[in-house]
A and B are shown apart, each in its own frame.
Chain A
Amino acid sequence: METLLTSSFIKDYPASVVIVNSEMQIIDHSKLWLKELENHSGSPIGLPIYDVIDYTSEEFSIRCEQCLIGGEQVKLIQELNQPELNTTWLEWTISPWTENPGKTNGLIIVKDDITETKKREELLLKSKSIARIGGWEVDLLSNTMHWTRVTKEIHEVPEEYIPNLEEGLNFYKEGVDRDKISDLVSDGLNEGLPWDTELRIITAKGKELWVRTKGEVEILNNKVVRLYGTFQDIDEEKRVELKYNEVSDRLAIATKAASIGIWDYNVVDNILVWDDNMYKLYGLNKKNFSGVVEAWESSVHPDDIAPSQELLQRALKGETEFDTEFRVVWPNGEIRHIRAIAFIQRGDNGNALKMIGTNWDITKNKKSEIKLKNLLDITSEQNNRLMNFAHIVSHNLRSHSSNLSMLTGFLSQEGDNNEKDRLTKMLCEASESLDETVQHLTEVVQVKVDAIDKMRPVNLYETIKGVEKNLAVLLKEKNTKCEVKVEKKLQINAIPAYMDSILLNLFTNSIKYSSPERSLALRITAERKGQYTMVTFSDNGLGIDLKRHHNAIFGMYKTFHKHKDAKGIGLFITKNQIESMNGKIEVDSKINEGTNFRLYFEAINV
């Protein structure tokens, strides 16, 4: 019964098992074993195993003999090269079986196909060799060290080289590298800690190499008995990595120093990433924003969002380059100008995949650009004015001097005394005109020379009333109704003498060019307009044809009325005086209805 049970157990055993007696004759086997047996028909029971399996090696029979005699399990790996078949690897486990202790009755032979495992091992070895991964081991009991072939190759030592722990450590580069490995090994020995690090060695041939060394510790009975690990040549990768780190560190330092922000937009997944500099450029705290798009939209000047987004879309379509400027408003209200340039990566079909861009602050340039442009405008405006002024001066001086030379010419030839008197009278008139012109010019030049630092608060109401009083006689002659609707305490920033001169000129103009058909009515009001106080000076006089004279009304020596006192200098000087006080003057008028002058002066905040 027992034998039968055992036998049936063997039959169904899920491995290839064969049992032989001491004569090596088969007495039992598993079904699997029989199945794997090719070229054999009929039951193999009773046959010698060597007759049934023709591929057993000589070593196999030796080992079987050893096992029968020694009674200890042996293992044997056999490489089987069968014609027209791939190499297979077999592992034989040969165990003795006994019925009575002390005597071996036969063998239990288990066959295991380990081809797959073997292949994997080979592959691993191969890949380790390719990856230049070697192994090492220190047996602390026998105090020996073993290096694999690859480890030796990495150290550039000959194959027969026998390493020891101390020498092994001395291959590490003196200094930080050797200190580090010494510490790691020491920690391993004392505390059983494993390690994995990257260090430099100097090979036997003096070459510096980056290696990755890994160590494991084997502990038996609280005692470290073995250290082992891998040793890998990572020189090429490490140097590439170091180079990359160097470059990217350099870039990071450079961009940080130059305050250049870098952004990266994954078009496909719609993900925008900013570096830290970007947040700085926008005056933002990175922590306060969950998303970059949100951060961008919250900071860009409202007027610049739509154009920037439109440009982005056009750039993505490939219609234009992405190279633009926009304003950002910092949380403290400060407006900064940002220049943005981006490069687009495209797929094979031309679709935009990724956009990488830079931002930098150009506020300083922008400000100096604006300043420069203003200066240029002022300069060309002044140049223009000077040019006009020069021509006006030349014209006016010439017209009098030519009259003078003509008259003196006539006078020298004139015999008739009456005519002589007439010429002399005209000569006086011409020289007086010349004198008057020179006076006007002096006055004009004076406006330009007078410094802005003469500006001080001036009470507008009192100034108007003062001028009105001075002209009381003339105003009364015209039966003038004068309405001054100005806050009595209102002050403006102005040069007092100019204020008098400007108001005097406007009053006299209104008197001069009042309508003969109605009595003169003047109205003066003042109101705040932004940084200015705007004074409106209105009359109901003759008016000016502004369609015809608009460009010339404030010009020098422009007169629009047939009036004996019209000199064409007053408004020119008025304009110059107002402008030299940082103000401006505007006019509108209707023929036969009246004229409104609007004067803008620097307001004073109360």
Chain B
Amino acid sequence: MKKFENVCIIDDDHIFIYGIKRLMKEVNFGDDILVYDNGKVALNDLKLNSKAGKKLPSIIFLDLNMPIMNGWDFLDDFCKISESELNNTVVYITSSSVDPRDLVRIKSYSIVKNYILKPVTAKDLELILKEEVA
């Protein structure tokens, strides 16, 4: 089975990060896993990488509630990156929020592929693999 070339996780909850990384290993999700604990760090780093000629991640798991720069602000800025640079990047929102207003808001971002309500399971990751890579 194919896997993702490079994966990015943006979340301030280190237990969640531990969990998802462990699950990714289980399902052989991807090799290169970048982790950021808020949107600002992620955005700066990804932009730098892109400038340095490094490919952007093909999939990003993004939390909504984070300090400094939350998921929404990250999305607003990230959308401005030109398509040629994007490397067909898709974003999956990972959040504990069941607020319907969040679900409606997500629909306004074309780059967001889906919304995964925490906890993320191995099955969720397998389905994503099937859809995006196969």
Q: Is B99 an interface residue (CB 8 A)?
A: yes
Given contacts A410-B19, A560-B67, A562-B68, whether A403 and B119 have CB atoms under 8 Å apart is yes
Nearest-neighbour CB distance to chain B for A421, whole angstroms, equals 13
Q: Are A561 and B68 in contact (CB under 8 A)?
A: yes
Question: What DSSP secondary structure best describes chain B's contact surface?
Answer: loop
> A568 CB to closest chain B CB, in angstroms?
7
Q: What residues of B have a CB within 8 angstroms of the CB of A559 in the complex? A: 67-68
Who on chain B is nearest to A562 by CB? B68
Q: A568: which B residues are within 8 A, CB to CB?
A: 67
**Interface magnitude class on chain A:** 20 to 34
The answer to whether B99 and A391 touch across the interface, beta carbons within 8 angstroms, is yes
Interface size class of B (residues with CB under 8 A): 10 to 19
Interface residues of B in 101-134 (CB under 8 A from A): 118-120
**B residues 56-115 touching A (CB-CB < 8 Å):** 65, 67-68, 73, 95-99
CB-CB under 8 A from B13, the residues of chain A are: 399, 403
Residues of chain B within 8 A of A396, CB atoms compared: 96
CB contacts (< 8 Å) of B18 on chain A: these are 426
- Contact in complex: A402, B119 (CB < 8 Å): yes
Contact partner of A548 (CB less than 8 A), chosen from B16, B38, B73, B97, is B73
Cβ contact within 8 Å between B98 and A398: yes
Interface residues of A in 6-25 (CB under 8 A from B): none
How many angstroms from the CA of A562 to the CA of B67 in the assembled complex? 7
A contact residues around B99 at 8 Å (CB): 391, 394-395
**Given A395-B96, A399-B13, A430-B15, is A405 in contact with B68 using a C-beta cutoff of 8 Å?**
no
A557 CA to B15 CA, complexed, in Å: 18
Q: Mark B5-30, 1 if CB is under 8 A from A, else 0.
A: 00000000101101100100000000
- By a CB distance below 8 angstroms, the chain A residues around B68 are 559-562
Nearest CB to that of B118 among chain A residues? A402
A179 at the interface (CB under 8 A from B): no
Q: Is B15 a contact of A403 with CB atoms below 8 Å? A: yes
Partner of A426, one of B15, B73, B98: B15
CB distance from B48 to the nearest CB of A (A): 18
Give the residues in chain A near B16, CB-CB below 8 Å.
Answer: 399, 402-403, 406
User: How far is A407 from B38 in the complex, measured between Cα atoms in Å?
Assistant: 23
Closest approach, in angstroms, between the C-beta of A504 and any C-beta of chain B?
22
Could you name 14 residue pairs across A and B whose Cβ atoms are closer than 8 Å? A391-B99, A395-B95, A398-B98, A399-B96, A399-B118, A403-B13, A403-B15, A406-B15, A406-B119, A407-B15, A426-B18, A559-B67, A559-B68, A560-B68
